[in-house]
Structure 1
Amino acid sequence: MYENQPPQPGQPHPDPSQPGYQQSGQPQPGHPQAAPVQKKRGGCLRMFLAGTAALVALVVIAVILSGGDETSGTPDGTTAPGTSAPSSGRDDQSERKPPGIGDVVKDGKFSFEITKIEKGLAQVGQGFAASKAQGQYVLVHVTVRNIGDEAQLFDGSAQKLIDSEGRQYDTDSGAALGLEGSNAFLNNINPGNSVSGILLFDVPKDFKPKAIQLHDSMFSGGVEVRLR
């Protein structure tokens, strides 16, 4: 049999029509072999890149839509120049003007309103009920209302007067007894009722008032009202 052996010199070329001829995968002389077909990868790469770009675009759009209501800021979380921070909806005590004369404030079961302040009094009361100041009397007029659901005792001695240097002064309860309209010594106030009274303080002649600290009892946290 011929098995596609190269012809020997002087021998005729094998005839494919002869019986027993087997054609191998080797290229035949004079018959060029076709080049193998290679798969093109460029198309797959372009499809992958196009899909990735579309996904990135969708993510960017989603971020823009979800962050449209957020406040513009710098990377460290501060507000960028030219922008304003959103309101938190809560009262910020540090940004509000402190309460003063004529403002209503609350502490515990009482609300307070300072209506007037008098300074420079050397004496209060008349006759045997008169009292002379060591320095000068300062009278702080206040309206106290019970905003609770049961009676509460208002004690004038729980209130503190503060000067410009931050020093605190107690009320002069003894002198207040002879002061007409004081109503500031152990006055029991029922729910919904209010009492107008006068807080009396004996302070130095060079006293400069800054504020008064008001309490619904001697154990409460208190609230401060400016007096200047």
Structure 2
Amino acid sequence: MTDQPLTPPAGQPGSAPGQPGFPTGQPGFPTGQPGFPTGQPGVPGAPVAGYQLPPGYQFPPTPPRTKKKWPWIAGGAGALALIACCTGALTTGDTTDSVATGSDTPASASAPAKATTEPTKAVKAEATKKAAALPGIGDAVKDGKFQFTVKKVTCGKKSVGSSVLNQKAQGQFCLISVNVKNIGDESQMFAGSNQKAYDAEGTEFSNDSGAEIYANSEAETFLNEINPGNAVTGTLVFDVPKATKLTRLELHDSLFSGGVEVSLK
């Protein structure tokens, strides 16, 4: 920008000679160059103190400052680099585990296989040994006020009851005929819901009380109180998967009794 030379009004001291309206004898202004101080040649637009700008003069507007985008770009690039670094570290860790185990599958995925197989065999062997040492079918056993004698076991039944009133099995019904005698000094009810059955792996099965109603339709005394000295015969019903083989029965005279086991083999 080139400022216009300022022309001081008449009567202002310090003007160079040869300019009308300005007194002479004031050094500091070269002749014919009003508005420029001595010793600063060729510097346009340097106004002298005390002078006023011409009427209507305006300074040009200052251009707006632009924000620099490079800090944001640099920050984004740094974040992407950090994510890439972390992802690479995780991938390297997985690869290291796979190499250490000699396969593409991490070691933790294949390790438990052997651990779950051996205990199952051990439990099955223990259950078989235990069942072999138990009283069997036809043996009288006691728990609390009751004496039990398992008479017969029949599995593979698809339904129980009559052709009109019956219930179908989810898997198969195992029917266990049991004689129950009250050896106590007061009456006691035998409840099928207190009885439990087990297979060779030790899996516990609860009886099907609804199916027992149809299976014992002709033995009403089995669901009633048994007086001291009396004995009744009824059928316990267990709904188990088709491939299941029951190996032992746990009989109770009440919900909180210790129970007694009988082998079903």
Mapped contact 1:131–1:175 kept (Cα < 8 A) = yes
After the TM superposition, which segments of 4 or more aligned residues of structure 1 sit over 3 Å from their partners? 180-186
Alignment length, in residue pairs? 134
1:187 correspondence with 2:187: no
Structure 2 counterpart of 1:166, one-letter code: G
Q: When the two structures are superposed, what TM-score results if normalisation uses the length of structure 2?
A: 0.48
Q: CA RMSD in A?
A: 1.9
1:213 correspondence with 2:250: yes
Q: CA offset at residue 126 of structure 1? A: 1.7
- Aligned equivalents of 1:142, 1:184: Cα separation in 2: 13
Listed one character per residue, the Cα deviations across residues 170-201 of structure 1 (whole Å, up to 9, x for unaligned) are 11111111123455864210000000000011
Q: When the two structures are superposed, what TM-score results if normalisation uses the length of structure 1?
A: 0.56
Structure 1 counterpart of 2:185, one-letter code: D
Q: 1:160 is matched with which residue?
A: 196
Q: 1:145 is matched with which residue?
A: 181
- Aligned equivalents of 2:203, 2:164: Cα separation in 1: 32
- Aligned equivalents of 1:183, 1:103: Cα separation in 2: 24
Structure 2 counterpart of 1:195, one-letter code: V
- Aligned equivalents of 2:200, 2:227: Cα separation in 1: 35
1:222 correspondence with 2:249: no
- Aligned equivalents of 1:197, 1:138: Cα separation in 2: 13
Alignment of 1:1-228 (within 5 A): 97-179=133-215, 180-181=217-218, 183=220, 186-228=223-265
Larger Rg computed on CA atoms: 2
SS in 1 for 2:255: coil
Q: 1:18 is matched with which residue?
A: none
**Unaligned residue ranges in structure 1 (runs of 5+):** 1-93
C-alpha spacing 1:142/1:183, structure 2 compared with 1 (3 Å): farther
- Aligned equivalents of 2:140, 2:193: Cα separation in 1: 20
- Aligned equivalents of 1:217, 1:186: Cα separation in 2: 14
Between the two structures, name the one with larger relative contact order (CA 8 Å, sep ≥ 6): 1
Structure 1 counterpart of 2:243, one-letter code: D
**Unaligned residue ranges in structure 2 (runs of 5+):** 1-129
Mapped contact 2:222–2:233 kept (Cα < 8 A) = no
Structure having the larger proportion of residues in helix: 2
- Aligned equivalents of 2:144, 2:160: Cα separation in 1: 31
Structure 1 counterpart of 2:230, one-letter code: N
SS in 2 for 1:166: coil
